A and B are shown apart, each in its own frame.
Chain A
């Protein structure tokens, strides 16, 4: 759950990139980190676990003059290797939104499903309900699965975000999609728009400016 300090008028969001091994979680995070001007983000932190790693960084506080509210966004990846379940759980704790990075290779369909089941199990065990957006990464593969018929993970109406994270394509679109879903979920419980007079679109536009993005990358869910 987002940490809200109403006294300091500061809100911290935690976004976690989850997915099977080698699906491109780290590439997403690196692309995002590289995209943001050094003045707008913290250093990329690497926590080495055996045979895998957890990466994260903080976006520096984004200040909203109109509502005198500041936001900070923490972005994490989890290690994808099956043996790191405990680490995945600890990283997932306190998350406000999850980006599920699926692999577009047809040979990875089973790995995608296995990771999704792991995510669902971890969230159940942690007693968490968070919005999840699904990205299909590696769209450059010649045999990439057709998105129209791709697995939608328990939700036939789910929107799928295509990406090619190594080049940065689709990384921001996914990020904003996840932020929008996270905002909606938090707004429902914390009434953010009403309390601070800050509508979702203004929030997304401000984050977009902060990370040096193009507003066309914002595709509301």
Chain B
């Protein structure tokens, strides 16, 4: 079958970023995202973009992967920018066509918001591209484990996340197979108005949902038959080790974000 790759997927190469402890990476990305919301000026965001691009360079993941990342949210990005540019009347009028006028301030805000969304996606992408799903879940479980004291099911939450991530490519593959099977029976998915188009998805969605339930059942049985009984007393094959380089990476992130915010 075709080697299809989804966006935001782990990109297995060797790099200093891949080698970092997932907990360090999760915290660093959380800091960067937090920083994105405190930066007030467009110049700050451009600096943030430079920082993230430096991260991409270090990660040895081809930059093209990141340019494709905002694809699914492109509509929101463009809409946000246009909306602000056209309807936020700040600063002076730059140009206008009849009733539509673009104000300097509005354009600035529009570009600022759009850039912020793109950078959010990039920051998250940098984490998922350099961290395998299992490492990601392990890291998250460790970071959430203090919450176990207030009875938050950290292990279960992390396990659910691992399974969800693990099944994204599987479901994509299955959706593509069912689509082709229905196409072989003459199904068309790109004709007619929106209602007809939505209806034409039924022959794909129904088998997909039925298949997902079957898979969930099978997975639960397979896990139980291999002795899985939840997180209590469960050890790990790969222990996470938070070393000097992880502390350093985190410290650098803290400093960078602090500088960006104080600008």
Are A and B bound to each other?
A: no
